[in-house]
Amino acid sequence: MAPLTDRTTLLVLEGTGLTVADVTTVAHGRAGVTVARPARDRVAAARESAQRIAARRPVHG
């Protein structure tokens, strides 16, 4: 986690390395969350792929 200010921490989600302690820290309001650019790019690519598949045939679940 990277310090944001002297009292606030920012947890950067990168798609790996998330710990129970990280989740607990965020859940207790002791850290904010942001998503790293490479992770956002991977999500966008996966969404585009899923949309292409769904356009060709029904998808359930």
| Residue 27 resides in a domain | yes
11 SS3 class? strand
Q: How many domains does the chain have?
A: 1
| Residue 43 resides in a domain | yes
User: Bridge partners of 40?
Assistant: none
Contact call for residues 48 and 26 (beta carbons, < 8 A):
no
Q: Containing domain of residue 6, as a range?
A: 2-56
Integer distance in angstroms from the first to the last C-alpha of the chain? Answer: 34
pTM equals: 0.62
Q: What's the mean pLDDT in 1-9?
A: 58
| Residue 61 resides in a domain | no
Contact call for residues 25 and 3 (beta carbons, < 8 A):
no
pLDDT digits (tens, 9 = 90+) for 16-42: 889 999 999 999 888 999 999 999 999
